[in-house]
Structure 1
Amino acid sequence: MRCITILLFLVGTIVYGQRSDFEHIDFTKADSIAAHYSGASLKNLPVLTHNLTANLPTDVEKFRAIYTWVGTNIENDYSSYVKTRKKRKKLSENQEALTAWNNSFTPKVFENLLKHKKTACTGYAYLIRELASLADINCKIVNGYGRTATLILDENSIPNHSWNIVELNGKWYLCDPTWSAGKIVIEEDGPRFEPDYFDGYFLAEPELFIRNHYPLEISASLLENPPTFEEFIEGPVVYKEAFGASIFPIVPKKMYLEIVKNESVSFKLTSAQPIEKENTFLLLNTGGSSKEHQPKITRNGNATILQHTFDKAGRYDVHIKVNDTIIATYVIKVKRK
């Protein structure tokens, strides 16, 4: 529990920022350095850190090189994740024992990482923190809940994910190196890791990050008015593509809705850049069939409102699709009356 108290103190006394704070920074050189040292050994972390950061002028560029290198060189170890999940579940009702186990288990995870460049989320977050610390960058591990279309949570769920917060220029920022690295694909002969580096979780916007990351210590959300855990698990599923385009699903706040036939539902999105009407659709799945609909679209400032009338009863999986990618999903039950 001591580490949580420290985190609360740090986050509570230092302001937090958004990725747009660094829109003037060109990360090309940092990414190029990370690519140049692809495949480098983890046996000497000070040397690796020096190679990644010595020729970069700012802390954010140094952290970018570290983050990109980790995201493109470390393999997600699904078997390690399964073992961790089972242990966490076993100790879920004994917070003191869970904390003690986490503290003893993390070095073992890190040792395996150094040998094989494979790890679960705890190892990713630990490596980011260690490399950042060697570069004199303040970085913390955050434990909590990750939520995706396949990671369904309820009020009794145990913590299942770890990520980082990092201090740059006196402000705190969020990132998730595990989800940036790629994804686990479940196949008949077992799970495999599919590398696919994704930039959207690097210094992610707190208002969007909270849609699929909920920290045990709520101050680590970097939000002044964070949702409750119940609101978090009741919200829509938000996909990584929303992060890449900085699109925020605002309304409805709950994923599951119940309406009557011929009633309309409005989906409100906000975005940094205007959303093109001709590239915005609702993909409705019901009864095994799928159909794309062009909703009624209106704009109000940086908000885009998509309105659709459900004229048939049934259960619909409603996917909001922007620029050929699905950014969020709702489930709507339409009753006859």
Structure 2
Amino acid sequence: MIKIYYLLIFFIICSQTTFSQIGPRVWKKEVKTTSNKKKSKFSTKHLAYSITNITTSDSEKVLEIYNWITKNISYDNELMRSKSLQNRIYTSEENVVKNVLERKMALCGGFALLFKFLCLDLGIEAKEVHGFTKDYTGRFKQTKTPHHTWNVVKLNGKWHLIDLTWAVSHGNDGFPDNFWYLTRPEDFIYSHYPEDPKFTLLNEPISFSEFKNKNSH
């Protein structure tokens, strides 16, 4: 059953045609070139507090952020196809998040940055992670450049994995696929490999070569 589940996941990934490829490649480069510009006044703090105003623990807050994003932000097919729109939006992290909230749509980098911003606003440690994924057959696409972005978030002193893009893209009838929320590292590694191996979150991280040759369940 688990193997069938993963094959279904990979089939959906394939049907989304390169949805993972734009975010990390573009905005990582652009943020570096705009680091000396005047600091933006844009803030997500009010949104972060409004989303989590009835929660108390960090775990509850992170779940509410996840629920809000997966309910209100959809995958941005227009941005995926438009180079001019990418050039206009991917000028800084703040501008990416600002456009995500205005357009109610995102690519993987936008999902990951919005999640990170909202967590940091609440004092919860979170990072965006750039890396590689496999296609629906479990085969690795031969590329040296990371083509997907997801998150890690620290709860109760321990890092956890979240892929908002896949949760939204693989959901049904407006509901996200919650398999990608706080996914076990042992499951995540079958389809995702980070630039920095420590973010596999495995007790004994595997190498990139092992990931490429690793079969699905």
TM superposition score normalised by structure 1: 0.46
CA change 1:213–1:74 in 2 (3 A) is: same
Q: For the residues of structure 1 that align with 2:208 and 2:193, how far apart are their CA atoms? A: 7
In the alignment, is the contact (CA less than 8 A) between 2:124 and 2:153 conserved in 1?
yes
In the alignment, is the contact (CA less than 8 A) between 1:81 and 1:120 conserved in 2?
yes
User: Structure 1 residue 51 and structure 2 residue 50: aligned?
Assistant: yes
Where in structure 2 are the equivalents of 1:122-271 lying within 5 Å? Answer: 122-149=109-136, 152-183=139-170, 195-237=174-216, 249=217
Q: In the alignment, which residue of structure 2 is the partner of 1:72?
A: 71
In the alignment, is the contact (CA less than 8 A) between 1:75 and 1:119 conserved in 2?
yes
What secondary structure does 2:119 align onto?
helix
In the alignment, is the contact (CA less than 8 A) between 2:131 and 2:146 conserved in 1?
yes
In the alignment, is the contact (CA less than 8 A) between 1:53 and 1:135 conserved in 2?
no
- Using the TM superposition, give the Cα deviation of residue 152 of structure 1 relative to its aligned residue in structure 2, in angstroms: 4.6
Over the aligned positions, Cα root-mean-square deviation in angstroms equals 2.8
CA change 1:147–1:79 in 2 (3 A) is: farther
- Using the TM superposition, give the Cα deviation of residue 105 of structure 1 relative to its aligned residue in structure 2, in angstroms: 5.1
Q: For the residues of structure 2 that align with 1:149 and 1:228, how far apart are their CA atoms? A: 21
CA change 1:210–1:170 in 2 (3 A) is: same
Q: Kindly, what percent of the aligned residue pairs are identical?
A: 31
Q: For the residues of structure 2 that align with 1:66 and 1:203, how far apart are their CA atoms? A: 13
Q: What's the CA shift string for 1:110-150, capped at 9, x where partnerless? A: 23212111110000000000111111111111000122307
Q: For the residues of structure 2 that align with 1:80 and 1:64, how far apart are their CA atoms? A: 27
CA change 1:116–1:165 in 2 (3 A) is: same
What secondary structure does 2:46 align onto?
helix
Q: What's the CA shift string for 1:262-306, capped at 9, x where partnerless? A: xxxxxxxxxxxxxxxxxxxxxxxxxxxxxxxxxxxxxxxxxxxxx
Q: What's the CA shift string for 1:192-233, capped at 9, x where partnerless? A: x98441111111101111111100011111113222222212
Gap runs ≥5 in structure 1: 1-42, 88-102, 185-192, 238-248, 250-337
Q: What's the CA shift string for 1:307-328, capped at 9, x where partnerless? A: xxxxxxxxxxxxxxxxxxxxxx
CA change 1:181–1:55 in 2 (3 A) is: same
CA change 1:55–1:172 in 2 (3 A) is: same
Q: For the residues of structure 1 that align with 2:137 and 2:147, how far apart are their CA atoms? A: 13
What secondary structure does 1:219 align onto?
helix
TM superposition score normalised by structure 2: 0.69
Q: What's the CA shift string for 1:38-86, capped at 9, x where partnerless? A: xxxxx973232212212212110111000111111101113434568xx
What secondary structure does 1:50 align onto?
helix
CA change 1:168–1:68 in 2 (3 A) is: same
CA change 1:219–1:65 in 2 (3 A) is: same
Q: For the residues of structure 2 that align with 1:68 and 1:224, how far apart are their CA atoms? A: 29
- Using the TM superposition, give the Cα deviation of residue 174 of structure 1 relative to its aligned residue in structure 2, in angstroms: 0.8
- Using the TM superposition, give the Cα deviation of residue 165 of structure 1 relative to its aligned residue in structure 2, in angstroms: 0.5
What secondary structure does 2:212 align onto?
helix
> Bigger CA drift: 145-154 or 219-228?
145-154
Q: For the residues of structure 1 that align with 2:133 and 2:124, how far apart are their CA atoms? A: 25
Bigger share in helix? 2
What secondary structure does 2:140 align onto?
coil
Aligned residues: 172
**Structure 1 residue runs of 4 or more that deviate by more than 3 Å after TM superposition:** 81-84, 103-108, 154-157, 193-196
Amino acid at match of 2:67: T
What secondary structure does 1:57 align onto?
coil
Query: Relative contact order (C-alpha < 8 Å, sep 6+): which is higher?
Result: 2
